[in-house]
Amino acid sequence: MDYDFTTGVNSLEEFWMPFTPQRGFKKKPRMFVSADGMYYKDDQGNDIIDGAGGLWCVNAGHNRPLIKKAVKSQLDVLDYASCFQVGHPTAFRAAKRLVDVMPESITNVFFSNSGSEAVDTALKIARGYWRVKGQAERQVLIGRHRAYHGVGFGGMSVGGIPYIRNTFGALLSSVDHLPHTHNLAEQAFSRGQPEWGGHLADHLEQMIDFHGAETVAGVIIEPVSGSTGVLPPPKGYLEKIRKICDKHDILLIFDEVVTGFGRFGDYSSSSYFGVTPDIICCAKGITNGTVPMGATFVNKEIYGAFMQGPDDTMELMHGYTYSGHPLACAAAIGTLDTFEQDAINDNAKNMMQPFEDALHSLKDKPYVRDIRNCGMLGVIELDEYSDDDHDRWSREAFIDLFYKGVAVRLGKNALVLSPPLILDENHIDHIATSIGEVLQAL
Ligand SMILES: Cc1ncc(COP(=O)(O)O)c(C=O)c1O
């Protein structure tokens, strides 16, 4: 197919796009060609406000000078060096800076290239931890229904979104899933964490009893399930999960790929929820989306357990060619500098209430069956269109919004919001008003 826009694209055929209906998209492409601050520009010259922070990753806004400078300077000096038995200063500087902003108990970080890899790394560390502690029978990994932990075989296995898991045959064994926490009848239009549902954490106790605590390695939880449509944890839920893990000496992993780096006014959402896990997975916002990076943070007990035997023992048989890539590490440092310079965490905290109010003002718009928000994450969930075309309302709203100059993330029957955290009340108002107008006109 010829495609004669000014961007120089003359064929759309070859690129097999991720999580995209190829043929539909290629009939009517939506292309961004530049971005600055809160806005993209499309190939027709239109400004489009970024209501999704890219893909939950551009938390500090687009085109940030300190990040650009850090990456460019790094590229001038050292484009690549391996971190397998050699190293480079930027990786160590980034690790120190990142660990310093994580919860106090976190002492070490393992670098990878994506959220999926950060999760698979965490699962391997959890199982490996018990093995080095002489408890190799602890292998069971517990995830949750409706969880999204990326697309690696590990993440898919503990994840709980059927249409993501089901295409690919057998997954990891020794995996179980807690029920998800969403219940429309009990929780619809809750503001922030729902009152109902804390008791669902008790299922963990039953599951551990079923498998035998001595076989369970870890529990992995998104503090707020993101990709399944922003499910905030019911009040008391995360606290109870932590308590049960402690009781049975089971590792708690938070997948903070979405909830980290500012979404909750801090680098980890554990300060917001008052619950600290043993392992934290990050990606996305860690480099503001500029250079791919995943990071798996662990506490002293976990790192220490691996540091056994002679000094020349390789303690963890795991790593990626690009673990600690110089450009990614430079981007992470530039991101932290940007957060500090612009007090982005403070702005996120200040915007949480206006964001919540704006979203919930859409309650009476057509087809809206639920609105959820937590921190700087939000979703407007719409009715199903018909039995054989469930998500037509949300699909059409997503496209209409794009042509109205608002980019949101399309979820299942849902318009998902995770805007850059540099936004102000005018941006929030613009996004919410546009959604209201689009729903009214559907
Ligand atoms: C909670 C969570 N974990 C893991 C991932 C996977 O990250 P990536 O797409 O960088 O592999 C995502 C991506 O959206 C996510 O939301």
Ordered by start, the domain boundaries in the chain are: 31-63+344-441, 65-342
Residue 123 Cα to ligand 1 midpoint, Å, equals 14
Q: What is the pLDDT of residue 240?
A: 98
The rounded distance, in Å, linking the Cα atoms of 301 and 150 is 26
Q: What is the pLDDT of residue 9?
A: 85
Evaluate whether 31-63+344-441 and 65-342 have a shared fold.
no
Name the closest-CA residue to atom 13, ligand 1.
150
Please state the CATH superfamily assignment of the domain spanning residues 31-63+344-441 in this structure. Aspartate Aminotransferase, domain 1 (3.90.1150.10)
- Residue linked to tokens 């919001």: 417
Query: Taking the complete model, does pTM exceed 0.85, yes or no?
Result: yes
User: How far apart, in Å, do the first and last CA atoms of the chain sit?
Assistant: 30
Q: What is the pLDDT of residue 57?
A: 98
The rounded distance, in Å, linking the Cα atoms of 402 and 398 is 6
153, 220, 227, best to mutate for ligand 1 pocket (most atoms within 8 Å of CB): 227
57, 113, 116, 156, best to mutate for ligand 1 pocket (most atoms within 8 Å of CB): 116
Kindly indicate the confidence band of residue 202, based on its pLDDT and cuts at 50, 70 and 90.
Answer: very high
| Domain topology for 65-342 | Aspartate Aminotransferase; domain 2 (3.40.640)
Residue 255 Cα to ligand 1 midpoint, Å, equals 8
- Percent of the residues in the chain that have a pLDDT greater than 70, as a whole number: 98
- Can you say whether the dihedral through the CA atoms of 401, 259, 231, 143 is positive or negative? positive
Question: For residue 119, which atom of ligand 1 is closest to its CA?
Answer: 4
Residue 115 Cα to ligand 1 midpoint, Å, equals 4
Residue range 356-381: average pLDDT? 98
Question: For residue 152, which atom of ligand 1 is closest to its CA?
Answer: 11
**pLDDT tens profile 166-200:** 889 999 999 999 999 999 999 999 999 999 999 99
111, 117, 149, 256, best to mutate for ligand 1 pocket (most atoms within 8 Å of CB): 149
**pLDDT tens profile 299-324:** 999 999 999 999 999 999 999 999 99
The rounded distance, in Å, linking the Cα atoms of 241 and 174 is 20
113 Cβ closer than 6 Å to some ligand 1 atom: no
Q: What is the pLDDT of residue 103?
A: 98
Tell me the average pLDDT of the chain: 96
Distance set, CA 28 to CA 24, 35, 56 (Å) = 7, 21, 24
Kindly indicate the confidence band of residue 3, based on its pLDDT and cuts at 50, 70 and 90.
Answer: low
Do 393 and 414 contact (CB within 8 A), yes or no?
no
Do 154 and 206 contact (CB within 8 A), yes or no?
no
Q: What is the pLDDT of residue 387?
A: 87
